Amino acid sequence: MQSEKEFLKGYKLSDYERPSVTADVAAFMISPQDKENYRRNPENKLLLLLVKRGGHPFKDCWALPGGFLQKGETIEQCALREIKEETNVLPASLMPVGVFSEPDRDPRGWIISNAYVSIISEESVRQVGMDDASDAQWFSVSFDRSGNGSYRLSLEYEDVRLCAVLAEEKTSFGKTAFRISDSGGLAFDHAAIIAQALTALRNEAKNFDTIFDFLPERFTLTALQKVQETIMNVSVLPANFRRMVSSYVEETDDYVRGEGHRPARLYTRKTIKEGST
Partner DNA sequence: CAAATAGTGTCTCTAAGACAATATCAC
Partner DNA sequence: GTGATATTGTCTTAGAGACACTATTTG
When binding is defined by CB under 8 A, the residue of 54, 55, 129, 275 that contacts a copy of itself is: 55
Taking CB under 8 A as the criterion, which residues in 83-102 touch a copy of itself? 92-96, 98-99, 101-102
When binding is defined by CB under 8 A, the residue of 32, 110, 124, 168 that contacts a copy of itself is: 110
Decide whether 74 or 252 has the Cβ nearer to DNA: 252
Q: Which does 73 bind (CB under 5 to 8 A by kind): a copy of itself, DNA, none?
A: a copy of itself
Site size toward a copy of itself, by CB under 8 A: 54
124 makes contact with a copy of itself (CB under 8 A): no
Taking CB under 8 A as the criterion, which residues in 229-268 touch a copy of itself? none
When binding is defined by CB under 7 A, the residue of 156, 177, 236, 268 that contacts DNA is: 236
Contacts 24+ apart (CB under 8 A), 270-276: 274/247
What are the φ/ψ torsions at residue 203 (nearest 5 degrees)?
A: -65, -40
Region of 17-25, 112-120, 190-198, 233-241 interacting with DNA (CB under 7 A): 233-241
**Rounded Cα gap, residues 9 and 141, in angstroms:** 52
Site string for a copy of itself, 144-173 (x = CB under 8 A): ---------------------------xxx
203 makes contact with DNA (CB under 7 A): no
Asked whether 36 and 161 are in contact (CB, 8 A), the reply is no
DSSP β-bridge partners for residue 109: none
Q: Which does 257 bind (CB under 5 to 8 A by kind): a copy of itself, DNA, none?
A: DNA
Decide whether 19 or 260 has the Cβ nearer to a copy of itself: 19
Q: Using DSSP bridges, classify how beta strands 44-52 and 62-63 pair: parallel, antiparallel or unpaired.
A: antiparallel
| Nearest Cα to Cα of residue 26 among 223, 206, 186, 165 | 186
When binding is defined by CB under 8 A, the residue of 21, 163, 165, 236 that contacts a copy of itself is: 21
DSSP 100-131: E--TTSSTTSSEEEEEEEEE--HHHHHHH---
Strands (E), the chain: 20-32, 44-52, 62-63, 66-68, 93-100, 111-119, 136-145, 150-157, 160-170, 176-182, 218-220, 249-256, 264-269
Q: Which does 144 bind (CB under 5 to 8 A by kind): a copy of itself, DNA, none?
A: none
